[in-house]
């Protein structure tokens, strides 16, 4: 295993992102801890919003993992689904109102569990994954333009949530894909420590291949013409690992007392970070500080913000701890808060703090999260 990857895995295991098993030099992640689970739950929400949430002609569906009514544990391996595209075609004929009111182009998105045998991603291996797929139908005359547009917007999405944007690009891939006879197999790729690897497939299927794959496609779409379709596919697991490896950095910085220290920092995008902020009493055993910090933590959680309360240890040690798990902001409650209603909002990225009215913390955090 690459030494850099090993250091990232060690931090994630130590801090509660996931537990690992190693087999034949590969890493299996059978269990996600509280931080990994929180980060993974943010990913599909952001993916869905970027496609379905902001576009009038994209819609969502959900489909059971098996059409035979069996539970996952009772299914034979052959009946477990290995992609989500099949579900889309299965349900097209069950969506008459959608098809009557929306002409081409339109897209159908789904997020769901898929199963593969020994799917590898660098040193990581999966047998089950949470896939995110969009099947976008368009007319033959619009296919090339639509493909270019989706390539640009998907690359922009990955760069928006990453730290080192230079490591992402779009390129041609081999035609070794589960999809039927693609005209183009493109992908968003990232330069990992083990080399360039795809993080999102962008597959263009023309009308001939689509009709071969789905002979009744014209009937299902209630159309006189056979469209092209462009299929976007990634997994929560790939996004999660990509953002972990991209955001992890080993840095040096000065403490508030002027000492130079080495530390690990995870520069996660604020909306993907497990905690959006940590509330810290400046001195962990001062009752007045702790009471105000606990009150603020409760208020922020009630407002739907994922925050944590931490009064364990020296303040500088707590900054280091929060930086390691990628928390973008720390709110420090001290004597000024008690006497004047002023607290400090420390940024992970700059390590600088701004003064803030205690009553403005929630609105300010929400603004920063939206702005990013």
pLDDT band at 197 (very low <50, low <70, confident <90, very high): very high
CATH code at 71? 3.30.930.10
Highest mean pLDDT among 112-116, 178-182, 304-308: 304-308
The mean pLDDT of 162-181, rounded to a whole number, is 81
Q: Which long-range contacts (CB under 8 A, 24 or more apart) does 72-81 make?
A: 77/115, 80/114, 80/115, 81/112, 81/114, 81/115
The answer on pLDDT for 74 being more than 60 is: no
CA 43 to chain centre: 3
Among residues 222, 244, 266, the one where a domain terminates is 244
Of the listed ranges 86-90, 149-153, 232-236, 345-349, the least confidently predicted one is: 86-90
Note whether 73 and 201 are same-domain residues.
yes
The answer on pLDDT for 94 being more than 80 is: no
Tell me if 253 is assigned to some domain. no
Tell me if 250 is assigned to some domain. no
Tell me if 357 is assigned to some domain. yes
Note whether 93 and 219 are same-domain residues.
yes
Among residues 203, 222, 244, the one where a domain terminates is 244
Query: Distance (Å, rounded) from C-alpha 88 to C-alpha 96?
Result: 13
What's the confidence (pLDDT) of residue 128? 87
The answer on pLDDT for 345 being more than 90 is: yes
Q: Residue 255 contacts by C-beta under 8 Å, 6 or more apart in sequence?
A: 261, 316
pLDDT band at 214 (very low <50, low <70, confident <90, very high): confident
What's the confidence (pLDDT) of residue 18? 94
Note whether 189 and 330 are same-domain residues.
no
Of the listed ranges 31-40, 78-87, 226-235, 353-362, the least confidently predicted one is: 78-87
Note whether 349 and 231 are same-domain residues.
no
Note whether 105 and 170 are same-domain residues.
yes
CA torsion sign, 362 to 363 to 364 to 367?
A: positive
Note whether 176 and 238 are same-domain residues.
yes
For residue 53, give its domain range: 3-244
The per-residue pLDDT for range 12-54, each reduced to its tens digit, is 999 999 998 887 778 988 899 999 999 999 999 999 999 999 9
What's the confidence (pLDDT) of residue 70? 45
The answer on pLDDT for 286 being more than 60 is: yes
The mean pLDDT of 343-364, rounded to a whole number, is 96
Query: Distance (Å, rounded) from C-alpha 353 to C-alpha 171?
Result: 41
Minimal CA–CA distance to 362: which of 340, 343, 334, 338? 343
What's the confidence (pLDDT) of residue 363? 97
Query: Distance (Å, rounded) from C-alpha 194 to C-alpha 2?
Result: 7
What's the confidence (pLDDT) of residue 78? 54
Note whether 46 and 95 are same-domain residues.
yes
Tell me if 261 is assigned to some domain. no
Query: Distance (Å, rounded) from C-alpha 214 to C-alpha 328?
Result: 47
* pTM score: 0.91
The mean pLDDT of 225-230, rounded to a whole number, is 89
The mean pLDDT of 300-327, rounded to a whole number, is 96
The answer on pLDDT for 176 being more than 70 is: no
Among residues 221, 244, 267, the one where a domain terminates is 244
The per-residue pLDDT for range 131-164, each reduced to its tens digit, is 999 999 999 999 999 999 999 999 999 999 999 9
**Number of folded domains in the chain?**
2
What's the confidence (pLDDT) of residue 79? 56
Note whether 26 and 110 are same-domain residues.
yes
Note whether 335 and 233 are same-domain residues.
no
Note whether 15 and 120 are same-domain residues.
yes
Note whether 85 and 155 are same-domain residues.
yes
pLDDT band at 329 (very low <50, low <70, confident <90, very high): very high
59 vs 66, which has greater pLDDT?
59
């Amino acid at each position: 295993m690459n030494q850099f990857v090993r250091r990232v895995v060690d931090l994630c295991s130590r801090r509660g992102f996931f537990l690992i098993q190693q087999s034949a030099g590969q890493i299996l992640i059978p269990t996600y801890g509280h931080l990994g689970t929180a980060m993974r739950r943010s990913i599909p929400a952001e993916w869905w919003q970027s496609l379905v949430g902001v576009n009038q002609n994209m819609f969502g569906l959900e489909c059971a993992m098996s059409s035979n009514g069996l539970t996952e544990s009772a299914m034979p391996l052959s009946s477990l689904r290995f992609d989500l595209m099949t579900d889309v075609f299965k349900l097209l004929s069950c969506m008459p109102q959608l098809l009557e009111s929306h002409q081409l182009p339109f897209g159908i998105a789904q997020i769901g569990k898929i199963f593969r045998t020994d799917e590898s991603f660098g040193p990581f291996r999966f047998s089950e994954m949470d896939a995110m797929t969009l099947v976008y139908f368009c007319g033959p005359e619009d296919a090339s333009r639509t493909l270019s547009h989706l390539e640009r917007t998907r690359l922009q999405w990955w760069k928006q949530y990453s730290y080192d944007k230079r490591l992402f690009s779009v390129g041609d891939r081999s035609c070794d894909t589960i999809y039927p006879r693609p005209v183009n197999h493109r992908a968003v790729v990232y330069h990992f420590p083990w080399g360039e690897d795809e993080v999102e497939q962008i597959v263009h299927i023309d009308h001939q291949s689509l009709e071969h794959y789905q002979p009744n496609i014209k009937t299902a779409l209630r159309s006189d013409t056979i469209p092209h379709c462009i299929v976007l596919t990634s997994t929560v697991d790939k996004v999660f690992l990509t953002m972990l490896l991209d955001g992890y950095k080993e840095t040096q910085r000065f403490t508030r007392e002027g000492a130079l220290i080495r530390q690990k920092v995870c520069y996660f995008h604020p909306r993907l970070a497990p905690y959006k902020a940590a509330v810290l009493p400046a001195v962990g055993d001062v009752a007045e500080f702790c009471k105000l910090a606990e009150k603020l933590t409760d208020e922020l959680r009630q407002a739907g913000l994922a925050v944590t309360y931490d009064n364990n240890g020296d303040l500088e040690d707590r900054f280091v701890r929060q930086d390691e798990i990628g928390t973008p902001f720390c709110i420090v409650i001290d004597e000024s808060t008690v006497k004047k209603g002023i607290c400090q909002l420390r940024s992970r990225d700059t390590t600088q703090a701004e003064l803030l009215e205690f009553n403005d913390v929630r609105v300010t955090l929400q603004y920063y999260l939206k702005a990013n």
